[in-house]
Amino acid sequence: MARAATTSDVFNAIAEPQRQEILVLLRAGERAVTELARELGMTQPRASKHLRVLREVGLVRDRKAGKQRLYGLDARGLRPVHEWTGGFERFWNESFDRLDAYVQDLKQARQEE
């Protein structure tokens, strides 16, 4: 077995930096593939492939417009990720405190040497 399929898994889909860029770009509005590729400095096939993944997990939708195909954001799939990480909200402060206390202890110990 290897890694879980990137398709049908939003977590994996957004783990790719270039796909993140695409999503961010699409916040500014729909884009045709070539346009998007140009703005992000990637080749057209590359853009198409990433868009395919994003489409398959439902993060983007496409519609035909003449000979172009416009891709638009459908961010609903990001909500579960937001909520999942949100489940750790109280921990990332707490962890901070603990680390802080730990650092204090270290200082203390060092002075007592």
Partner DNA sequence: CAATAATATGCCGATATCGGCATGTGTAAA
Partner DNA sequence: TTTACACATGCCGATATCGGCATATTATTG
**Using CA of residue 73, residue 32, residue 46, residue 20, what is the dihedral sign?**
negative
- How many residues bind DNA (CB under 7 A)? The answer is 33
Q: Which two tokens stand for residue 90?
A: 């109280």
Minimum distance, C-beta of residue 77 to its own copies, in the bound complex (Å):
8
For 78, residues 6+ apart whose C-beta sits below 8 A from its C-beta are 10, 14, 23, 59
Residue 20 contacts DNA per CB under 7 A = no
Buried/exposed code over 52-76 (b: 16+ C-beta within 10 A; e: otherwise): ebbbebebbebeeeeeebbbebbee
Q: Is 79 in the site for its own copies (CB under 8 A)?
A: yes
Are 24 and 54 within 8 A, CB to CB? no
- Which residue, 63 or 93, is less far from DNA as judged by CB? 63
56 near its own copies (CB under 8 A): no
**In the block, which residue shows the tokens 């962890």?**
95
Window contacting DNA (CB under 7 A); options: 21-29, 46-54, 82-90, 100-108: 46-54
Residues 10-49: x/- map of binding to its own copies (CB under 8 A)? Answer: -xx-xxxx--x--xx--x----------------------
78 binds DNA per the rule CB under 7 A: no
Binding residues for DNA, rule: CB under 7 A, are 1-7, 12, 16, 18, 32-35, 42-53, 62, 64, 66-70
